[in-house]
Amino acid sequence: MILSKKIQVLKPSAVQALSARAKEQTAQGKDVVNLALGEPTWECFEPIKDTAMQSIQKGCSHYAPAVGRKDLRQAIAKNINQHLNLNYDFKNVTVSIGAKFCLFSALQTLADPTDEVLIPAPYWVSYPSMVDLIGAQNVIVETDTTTHKLTADILKKYITDKSKILILNSPNNPTGAVHSIEELKSIGEVIKTHPRLCVLSDDIYNRMVIDNPPDSFAPHLLQACPELKDRVICINAASKNYAMPGWRLGWAVAPVPVVQAMSSLQSQTVSSAPTISQMAMVPTFDNTEEDVQKTHQLIKEKKQTMCQALSSIQEINFQEPQGAFYLWPNVESLFGRKFKNHPIQSSMDVCTLLSQHFSLFAVPGEEFGRAGYIRLYFAVPDRDIEKCADRIKDFISQTK
């Protein structure tokens, strides 16, 4: 059977592929430390489970509307309005299968083949593949090499008449960088002068700004420039803030015609997000706030433990992440050395050697569009953080 040309060039998600390899090593009995997959290592919160159980009793076996259940859309609108001080209606909300399908569906809904999608690098691994799949043009925007942030001046250099979508992700996966309101304001001013440009704001880590108070939300483009509301699609999900990655629930908040179009696409493809996940999510914004804030504290502690553990390793240089749950160390000082006759020339080499010889899994920066770095997920048990540091030290001590 001959695969389609599009699929022949499609790479699997590096994060998922590495995690699969980590699981294989675990099955072989190895003591694996998997810091490749960025998913909460804790269970979702008890009230969510309780609502899900009750939903099963009440009956949740039927399809949900393609656009999403009204009660959930209302709850999402209320939540985003509280955060952004805006007045979205439930009709501005569509629900789908994780942030992933919301992003894919929004891209599909907005971009034609000649349209350019601006993706600031470092970017989350799946954005460029999604753009390839929908057949639009990827434009990788090289952000500031120290802060890894998009600035207004950088954005100006990349905008053309063909620019259609800018993807913003703050807090950022993989770097943990968080844009301030002032930075977002100046980016917003540039967007305003290009009326064709829309923004996909991937807000999936918006409750994880590490040094802000636990009840805070990440600064948002629509707080800085609410007048851009008709050109911004806000994407979020239950996966990170509510520790529900396997429930496959995400949402997009957008102008009504975009919501309708995404819903049509959904009705012809995946039908709807799982009914049980939607029912379980409805009261979650209100009844899990304490858990969300505890998670914030946990991430803060884990960040400190990870930074502390790696700080004594001279060859590993990093800035403390401001948000999300990843450390983004630079490993270029190892390039040019050898480990047991294997030359180390890239962060890909570093990650391959760490996984093969030390069962430590990290994602190479190349996968996020910036070589020289590796991504380490740090919201893991302390003993895994200790093992990570020990194994990196052991690895480096054997390089020449």
Strands of the chain, DSSP E: 33-34, 93-96, 116-121, 137-142, 163-168, 198-202, 232-237, 250-253, 326-327, 338-339, 342-343, 360-361, 363-364, 374-377
- Nearer to ligand GLU (CB atom), residue 98 or residue 188: 98
Q: Is 103 a residue that touches ligand GLU (CB under 6 A)? A: no
Q: Is 358 in the site for ligand PMP (CB under 6 A)?
A: no
Question: Alpha carbon 23 to chain centroid distance?
Answer: 22
Q: Is the dihedral of CA 234, 239, 240, 244 positive or negative?
A: positive
327/319 Cα distance (integer angstroms): 8
> Distance (Å, rounded) from C-alpha 334 to C-alpha 313?
12
User: CB of 388: closest distance to ligand PMP in angstroms?
Assistant: 20
DSSP per-residue codes, 236-252: EESTTTTS-GGG--EEE
Beta strands 137-142 and 163-168, pairing class: unpaired
- Whole-angstrom distance, CA of residue 41 vs CA of residue 25: 19
* Candidate list 21, 25, 37, 60; residue touching ligand GLU; CB under 6 A: 37
Closest residue to ligand GLU in the complex (CB): 38
Out of 79, 137, 170, 173, the residue judged to bind ligand GLU by CB under 6 A: 173
Stretch that binds ligand GLU, among 36-44, 188-196, 295-303, 329-337 (CB under 6 A): 36-44
Task: Please say whether the beta carbons of 225 and 184 come within 8 A.
Answer: yes
Q: Exactly one of 18, 237, 331, 392 binds ligand PMP (CB under 6 A); which one? A: 237
Considering only residues 128, 176, 188, 245, which one is a binding residue for ligand PMP as defined by CB under 6 A?
245
Whether 114 and 107 have beta carbons less than 8 Å apart is answered as no
Specify the residue, 202 or 291, whose C-beta has the smaller distance to ligand PMP.
Answer: 202
Determine if 13 is a binding residue for ligand GLU (CB under 6 A). Answer: yes
**Position among 6, 9, 11, 16 found at the interface with ligand GLU (CB under 6 A):** 16
Region for residue 331 given its phi and psi (left: phi exceeds 0; alpha: psi -120 to 50; beta: otherwise): alpha
In angstroms, what is the minimal distance from the CB of 96 to ligand PMP?
A: 9
Residue 99 binds to ligand PMP (criterion: CB under 6 A): yes
Q: Is the dihedral of CA 320, 325, 326, 327 positive or negative?
A: positive
Q: Kindly state whether residue 330 participates in binding ligand GLU, applying the rule CB under 6 A.
A: no
Which one of 79, 94, 137, 239 is in contact with ligand PMP (CB under 6 A)?
A: 239
Contacts with ligand PMP by CB under 6 A: the residue count is 13
Q: Using CB under 6 A, which of the segments 53-61, 95-103, 175-183, 211-219 binds ligand PMP? A: 95-103
Residues 106 to 145 in contact with ligand GLU, rule: CB under 6 A: 124
Distance CA 306, CA 389 (A): 8
Q: Name which position in 33, 34, 35, 38 contacts ligand GLU (CB under 6 A).
A: 38
Give how far Cα 279 sits from Cα of 45, 69, 75, 189, 245, Å. 15, 8, 11, 39, 16
CB of 154 to ligand GLU, least distance (A): 23
CA dist 400 and 398 (Å) reads 7
**How far does the chain reach from its first CA to its final CA, in angstroms?**
47
Polymer length of the chain:
400
Tokens linked to 193: 């002068």
- How many residues bind ligand GLU (CB under 6 A)? The answer is 9
Residue 238 Cβ vs ligand PMP, minimum distance, rounded to whole Å: 7
The one of ligand GLU, ligand PMP, none whose footprint includes residue 13, by CB under 5 to 8 A per kind, is ligand GLU
Nearest distance from residue 62's CB to ligand GLU, in Å?
27
Kindly give, in sequence order, each residue whose CB lies less than 8 Å from that of residue 224, ignoring residues fewer than 6 positions away.
181, 182, 184, 185, 187, 188
Least Cβ distance, residue 37 to ligand GLU (angstroms): 5
- List binders of ligand GLU among 204-263 (CB under 6 A): none
Which residue stretch of 44-52, 98-106, 275-283, 372-380 sits at the interface with ligand PMP (rule: CB under 6 A)?
98-106
The CB-of-19 to ligand PMP minimum distance in angstroms stands at 12
Please report how close the Cβ of residue 14 comes to ligand GLU at its closest, in angstroms: 9
Write out the residues near ligand GLU by the rule CB under 6 A: 13, 15-16, 37-39, 100, 124, 173
Binding site residues, ligand PMP, CB under 6 A: 38, 98-100, 124, 169, 173, 202, 204, 237, 239, 245, 250
